[in-house]
Amino acid sequence: MRTDILIHRFLIMCIAFLLSSFVALNALALQSKSSLEPRIYSCDELKKLYPELDKLSHKELKKSLFEKFLSQYRTCPMENYTYAKYYVCCFHNDNSEQVNYLRKWVAAFEKKLKSKGN
């Protein structure tokens, strides 16, 4: 068999493996968060809740969390809150528009949770 064909097949197998790993991580994350208790979470609790996010680089983590926040904005408010709070906890020193927006959103959501608790 020619070398270029072997390299091509090897690359396809590597890409397939990476895609399946990514899908498995996302499925694991969604499965474990399906029944979040409606309460205020601390940063430490969120880091324990999402251990798979520790494996991402700084840039990948920012992108992943913000995309998850945007994609579930209306459908899963509690899970959305945990992604936003995790983002704010991880990037608390950042003064970007995204962090400032999420800080305000988390504060408003926590205020809403507190008022429902009383």
Query: Does the model's pTM come out above 0.75?
Result: no
In angstroms, the CA 31 to CA 51 distance is 13
Mean pLDDT is highest, among 12-16, 35-39, 73-77, 89-93, for 89-93
Instruction: Quickly count: other Cβ atoms within 10 Å of residue 53's Cβ.
Output: 20
Question: How far is C-alpha 22 from the chain's CA centre?
Answer: 13
**Which pair of tokens denotes residue 112?**
């809403």
Q: Which H helix or E strand runs over 38?
A: none
- Cβ atoms of 87 and 66 within 8 Å: the answer is yes
pLDDT digits (tens, 9 = 90+) for 17-70: 555 555 545 544 544 455 688 899 999 999 998 899 889 999 999 999 999 898
In angstroms, the CA 27 to CA 24 distance is 5
